[in-house]
Structure 1
Amino acid sequence: MMVQPEGVAPAWSPTVESAELARMSAFRRAAGVRAGREFQATPDLHQWSLDDMPAFWALVWDFFSVVGDRGVTAVRPSVMPDAVFFPESRINLAENLLAPWADSDEIAVALVREGDGLLSAGDSLTGRQLTQRVGSFAEALRERGVVAGDRIGLVLPVGPDALVCTLGALAIGAVVSSVSPEFGAPSIVDRLGQLQPTVLVAAPFYRWSGKAFNRSDNVAEVVRALPSLRVVFLAGEDDGAAARACQGECSVVPLEPALSRDVQPSYERLPFDHPAYVLFSSGTTGKPKCLIHRGGGVLLKHLVELGLHADIQPADRLLFYTTTSWMMWNWQISCLALGATLVLHDGAPTYPSASALFTSAKMTSATHLGLSARLLDHLRAEGIALDGEAGRALRQVLVTGSPLSPPTAEWLADELGPNVMLNPISGGTDLVGCFVGGDPTRPFFAGEMTGPILGTAVDVYAEATRRADDNEAGELVCLQPFPTVPVGIWGDATGERLRATYFDMWPGIWVHGDRAVRSSTGGVAILGRSDATLNVGGVRIGTSEIYAALADHPVVADSLAFGQEWDGDTRIVLLVVTSRDAELDEAAKASIKSAIRAACSPRHVPAVIVEVADLPRTQTGKISEIAVREAVHGREVKGIGALANPESLDAIVAAVPTD
């Protein structure tokens, strides 16, 4: 298990002063006034947030000065998948994100982009400039007949254009879905095609890892496959391919003129449950599900997560590495509602060096940096020093994408020092937010997240809805409604797919699909996806336990474990990408097996260890164990277009023995 044993020192602890200055402390005091009693610490506050949900969520609205008409009712009792919050309210997500910025000449958006062999500062936007461009795009949409509820598809890299178009569409009540431009046309159409969008905003060109990519033919193929389109805005040069692909009365126009008029936004205040975003499941297990997320829920959930758990305050700067396909894009832009500057990194996370994101944070004086655990594992394995790379302004590192191993957490704490809070978070596209994360007022222990997010009844259940004991593995669940329970899945009129996805195992209880374990201190460790759990001889084995055992192994730079059907049972196959200058000989294999046996159990030890050059990853950097398992067994790999490097599967299939 990844949970730390009793008596282990925390990897990071707040000072008395920093804890007192954290917004979490101010909120806890405000909750005490609201509840008529004192809350000693966050766990007490968390319990109140579940025991008196109406009072808690009403306080969130008031504490963060949400703009809109609140109504009387904060929460109406319901059983999931129903989730009824602020049923009488009228609200607009974009209006709240821009509220601190409308008359501000401070920098609201900073950009770092790739140059030739280096990173360079891109054009920034003041609050006033951002607001004007959002108003201009919103007006351009209205002039073309776009109304609340229409779907807007974005195929754009991370940058100001993607942000402005998102906020402009939200301002008029349109529903936004975005896909990164590196996706192939079939994968984009698999996603956006389900929504029948009326507007597409696309970039025919983008840069990645020091190279320029021309995607005009890809854009044209997407346009050709979406007959619902009425207008296509092109960000960048136009070679005419998209116009030739248009059907019916669809027109193609340049994006920049639609952003350049001096127009202030006019916001449509809509019901709390009005959809703001449709996000897509990864597609690695089939055609992507289109998850519909309500604007009011997104705002309140993100205010709790960014404003309290991440302690983002006015004048802070958040850089969270993401693509426009990942939910962290939607998550990070909500920092604008807190008066914090949004720092956008347009490019690869490892260009021109593996520590590029720390360089980017230093260039922009970022106070908060978000990145993947896998990237940190790589930096540690390669011995890359971070001392002096992150800049003096940095005070928090957020980590997600996969579990942060104890060795990497301890290494990161040593590299960055006691003034930088480590904040692993975990949630998903399903809730466009987090279930568990950090707390700026309590210590962080390597190998776990500090506790549940306020307002979420997160727990770990074993079989038959039995609450798992401390340090016992089980399913991560949520027992009560929360504001970002999806409104539904697009095309699922009866709600059957939504119920089958999250509530089939235990009706009324959200089963997230993660194996987890809870520590005696209330911390939570994620062990990996339940659908990737190995079943060897009837024993369930979490793959992340194997990865944690190899986190410090000198030969292993990266690894992937999967179950191969073998002789009427299942055997564990371990794929290994070796560290620089290391060799996977028989002695190394024996050492790997010994490390796994010592840290886990004899049942965790792989039957076969195979060296490979690369592991398949989704566009957001997560390794895909299921894709490997299906490919090795000769089965169709569903959603292969969601993989960033599908060619790696062919080499793996050739390398894994089948007899």
Structure 2
Amino acid sequence: MNEPPVLWKPVDGGRMAEFATWVGEAHGVRADGYGELWEWSVTDLPAFWSAIVGYFGVHLHERPTAVLTGEMPGAQWFPGATVNYAEHALTPGLCGRKDDDALALIAVDQSGRTAVTYRELRNDVAAMRAALVEFGVRKGDRVVGLCPNTPAAVVTFLAAASLGAVWSACSPDAGDAAVADRFAPLAPTVLLGAPGFPGPHHVITLDAYDDLLDAHRGAPLEFDPVEFSDPLWVLHSSGSTGPPKGIVHGHGGILLEHLKALALHGDLGDGDRFLWHTGTGWMMWNYLVSGLLVGATVVLHDGSPTYPDIDALWAIAARERVTYLGVSAPYLHLCESEDLRPGEDHDLGALRTVGSTGAPLAPAAFDWIADAVGPSVQTASISGGTDLCTAFLGAAPTVPVWRGEISCRTLGTPAAEYSGELVLTAPMPSMPLYFWDDPDGAKLRAAYFDEFPGVWRHGDWIRFTPRGSCVISGRADATLNRGGIRMGTAEFYAVLESLPEVADALVVDTSGGPDPSEDGEILCFVVFESTALADGSKRIRAALRERLSPRHVPDRIVPVTAIPRTPNGKRREVPVKRLLTGRPVADSRGLEEFVSFAEKLTKEL
């Protein structure tokens, strides 16, 4: 296979190069290039993660008795150590300057712009902490947010973390049932946001938020040391394969992982501005807020990325002098299909990196960024998951960007390919402590370890290249099968999303039904633009045949009015496949068209 073209080359190596030099001097590690640095980071995990602690000056109140004990599942990181995530986000000089007058937050929404300095953020967190104490919040209690992406969410999260309370959030546009699925099991003590959710002892409405802070002004800012593995927050899985799982992450693991990911791989630090378009219910919000750890300015955007114009995010990035702009892959595919030219239409001189996640990024979108955004802008296609709240695979300032490929495995991530699937062969600090309401760990083991004992199965089809880069071709549980040949859905979507007649699409196959001898059909559900069905279907078949192969041509193209997606924007391929193969679906809300089609298929059989 020919090597794809290089679209971006490293300039000075940034903080990754500085770290490589530091570990050479401090630990005697001689790494000739990123590949050797990564190899050391996964073959000597205790040395690598100890180096992260030392390089960033992480404040451990109590020293650990070891760095790593045990194996997956159940490995223990830094046992005996105490730490606090919020302390590292707010303390001047700790992992970043965070000077009083430096901007900590910039919040942008349809009503305007709000800027918050680090001094103001510290004062607000101190006031909210005092209010939470007054409400009776203690270590281990749950504080939840049904709230938009605003400073109030950041302040309340950090105040809860400073006490050792546990945070969880959900976007306010989620339905009542989705909110209840996530928050009811947590039995929260305090809820920030819209009243009406049953259960919390105290509700802080957004209208009352400012008055509550004013009533507690002047309170001291304090941080309670907690165990390294004490819970920091509960994230929830997308719910695409069943009820959302409550995934619990710890203070210490998230702190180390996000310092590494944002400072070394993202090259973020003092003076940088970091914007990732996200709601509070997606793990990328937590990742975004961690920009405070490294002293960056976190830019919060509450609103549609395409309002009032399709290039609204690019306009914000230009106006706010954003250094690192993160979006979903579908948004970049939309920009490419609309032939936007943000590098010409806006002053993006401060922009170094465009990050993409949520789905595989099509090769054409790599081309579009290099051409329409700018050849000096790095494309950081990253892949990981809510499960660890980080990227396993991503970019680095010392590694080139090859067209259509994720640049590298991230440091400390023992990612490998096993039978075509992405696996992790050793522990990582931000792996889940446990699932909520899973006292014996059975659900966690079933989710990650049943298929390959002792190895984390992540569920993506992956191919690594000799250069250390990789290509993800889709979810293993949504893989298409034709005549025994496995095909990932990502390559289908790369073609479908480039066609002007296709507004959205979902591809599944019906193999795996009651009769295992049946191959099943490949079905392509399409939301058409104004194009007539017959003409649109003909062009879809021709494009898939020409760009991929005759094997990729679907058996049926089925028009639908909408493609079901999770709150995070991911296609709900797995529940649709379960419906079409006669298997139970835990949550069929939003799948009504597909339920009707499944009934039609049953009658045909």
Q: Shorter-chain-normalised TM-score: which range? A: over 0.9
| Compared CA separation, residues 323 and 127, structure 1 to 2 (3 A) | same
Please tell me whether residue 535 in structure 1 is matched to residue 486 in structure 2.
Answer: no
Q: Is the 8 A contact 1:70 1:86 kept in 2?
A: no
Structure 2 Cα separation of the partners of residues 459 and 270 of structure 1: 33
Give runs of aligned pairs for residues 458-607 of structure 1, distance below 5 A: 458-462=415-419, 474-564=420-510, 568-578=518-528, 582-586=531-535, 588-607=536-555
Aligned to 2:149: 158
Q: Is the 8 A contact 1:409 1:447 kept in 2?
A: yes
Percent identity among equivalent residues? 39
Residue deviations 1:272-325 (CA, integer Å, cap 9, x gap)? 000001111111221111111011000100111111111112100000011110
Aligned partner of residue 434 in structure 1, secondary structure:
strand
Aligned partner of residue 124 in structure 1, secondary structure:
strand
Shift, 1:543, TM fit: 1.1
Please tell me whether residue 230 in structure 1 is matched to residue 228 in structure 2.
Answer: no
Please tell me whether residue 289 in structure 1 is matched to residue 232 in structure 2.
Answer: no
Shift, 1:410, TM fit: 0.8
Shift, 1:30, TM fit: 0.9
Residue deviations 1:418-460 (CA, integer Å, cap 9, x gap)? 2211101111110011110001111111221111110010011
Aligned to 2:353: 396
Aligned to 1:51: 43
Answer with 610-619 or 446-455: which moved more.
610-619
Choose the corresponding residue for 1:90, options 66, 82, 89.
82
Aligned to 1:10: 6
Q: Is the 8 A contact 1:108 1:125 kept in 2?
A: yes
Aligned to 1:191: 182
Shift, 1:554, TM fit: 4.5
| Compared CA separation, residues 382 and 648, structure 1 to 2 (3 A) | farther
Q: Is the 8 A contact 1:610 1:656 kept in 2?
A: no
Please tell me whether residue 345 in structure 1 is matched to residue 326 in structure 2.
Answer: no
Amino acid at match of 2:110: E
Give runs of aligned pairs for residues 239-254 of structure 1, distance below 5 A: 254=208
Choose the corresponding residue for 2:574, options 615, 626, 631.
626
Amino acid at match of 2:251: G
Choose the corresponding residue for 1:131, options 91, 112, 122.
122
Please tell me whether residue 373 in structure 1 is matched to residue 363 in structure 2.
Answer: no
Structure 2 Cα separation of the partners of residues 73 and 390 of structure 1: 51
| TM-score (norm. length: structure 1) | 0.85
| Compared CA separation, residues 552 and 102, structure 1 to 2 (3 A) | closer
Q: Is the 8 A contact 1:405 1:551 kept in 2?
A: no
Residue deviations 1:606-626 (CA, integer Å, cap 9, x gap)? 001123343122222112122
Q: Is the 8 A contact 1:313 1:340 kept in 2?
A: yes
Structure 2 Cα separation of the partners of residues 351 and 655 of structure 1: 39
Please tell me whether residue 320 in structure 1 is matched to residue 276 in structure 2.
Answer: yes
Unaligned runs of at least 5 residues, structure 2: none
Please tell me whether residue 255 in structure 1 is matched to residue 209 in structure 2.
Answer: yes
Structure 2 Cα separation of the partners of residues 37 and 282 of structure 1: 40
Shift, 1:595, TM fit: 3.0
Structure 1 Cα separation of the partners of residues 499 and 98 of structure 2: 52
Structure 2 Cα separation of the partners of residues 126 and 646 of structure 1: 45
Amino acid at match of 2:557: I
Q: Is the 8 A contact 1:610 1:655 kept in 2?
A: no
Residue deviations 1:257-282 (CA, integer Å, cap 9, x gap)? 33231223210011100000111111
Choose the corresponding residue for 1:610, options 558, 566, 579.
558
Choose the corresponding residue for 2:222, options 266, 272, 285.
266
Residue deviations 1:474-520 (CA, integer Å, cap 9, x gap)? 11000011101110111211111111110001111000011111122
Aligned to 1:358: 314
Answer with 68-77 or 539-548: which moved more.
68-77
Amino acid at match of 1:25: A
Structure 1 Cα separation of the partners of residues 539 and 15 of structure 2: 47
Aligned partner of residue 144 in structure 2, secondary structure:
strand
Structure 2 Cα separation of the partners of residues 416 and 656 of structure 1: 46
Structure 2 Cα separation of the partners of residues 85 and 456 of structure 1: 15
Aligned partner of residue 354 in structure 1, secondary structure:
coil
Answer with 405-414 or 592-601: which moved more.
592-601
Amino acid at match of 2:534: D
Shift, 1:23, TM fit: 0.1
Q: Is the 8 A contact 2:521 2:554 kept in 1?
A: yes
Structure 2 Cα separation of the partners of residues 390 and 573 of structure 1: 43
Q: Is the 8 A contact 1:284 1:638 kept in 2?
A: no
Q: Is the 8 A contact 1:513 1:530 kept in 2?
A: yes
| Compared CA separation, residues 634 and 480, structure 1 to 2 (3 A) | closer
Aligned partner of residue 69 in structure 1, secondary structure:
coil
| Compared CA separation, residues 506 and 657, structure 1 to 2 (3 A) | closer
| TM-score (norm. length: structure 2) | 0.93
Unaligned runs of at least 5 residues, structure 1: 205-218, 237-253, 463-473
Shift, 1:14, TM fit: 2.0
Q: Is the 8 A contact 2:69 2:77 kept in 1?
A: no
Choose the corresponding residue for 2:586, options 638, 648, 651.
638
Aligned to 2:170: 179
Q: Is the 8 A contact 2:239 2:566 kept in 1?
A: no
Give runs of aligned pairs for residues 6-155 of structure 1, distance below 5 A: 6-15=2-11, 18-19=12-13, 22-69=14-61, 71-73=63-65, 75-100=67-92, 104-115=100-111, 120-121=112-113, 123-155=114-146
